[in-house]
Amino acid sequence: MAMKLEYAHIEKPTDGPARLQRMPRIRVAQIAMDYLAYGFSPDEMCRQHPYLRLAEAHAAMAYYFDHQGEIDEEIRQELDQATRDRNTRDRSPFYVRMKARGLL
């Protein structure tokens, strides 16, 4: 018999990423990125992001560790999209001039 886990403070719509219930614009992946990129503990995450409650940070990290493959894939897709966007956008005239002068 499979048991479905519930995560306080986290909602996971069937067609979208896991998010904070109180602040649905904040995804679990965003919180996990603070851990992955900077090694932030939940306490430090709350110091860096005052809107975040300690219980929410702990719940997000618990969800991340229980669904690490899913969240890592979400992060990977976001990074890939950012790279594609960066490589396909038009450069500003200032950037082009600086690049031509060898300053970038």
Q: What is the pLDDT of residues 5-49, one digit of tens each?
A: 889 999 999 999 999 999 999 999 999 999 999 999 999 999 999
Say whether 25 sits in a helix, a strand or coil: coil
Residue 51 lies in a domain: yes
Residue 2 lies in a domain: no
Centre a 10 Å sphere on the Cβ of residue 57 and count the other Cβ atoms it contains: 23
- Predicted local confidence at residue 2, as pLDDT: 67
Q: Which residue has the tokens 């001039």?
A: 97
Alpha carbon distance, N-terminus to C-terminus of the chain: 59
Domain that holds residue 58: 10-100
Count: domains in the chain: 1
Residue 81 lies in a domain: yes
Maximal C-alpha separation, the chain: 67
Residue 1, pLDDT > 80, answer: no
Centre a 10 Å sphere on the Cβ of residue 81 and count the other Cβ atoms it contains: 10
**Each residue of 26-35: pLDDT tens digit?**
999 999 999 9
Residue 1 lies in a domain: no
Q: How far is CA 4 from CA 7, 84, 94, in A?
A: 10, 37, 54
Report DSSP state, residue 27. B
Residue 14 lies in a domain: yes
Residue 17 lies in a domain: yes
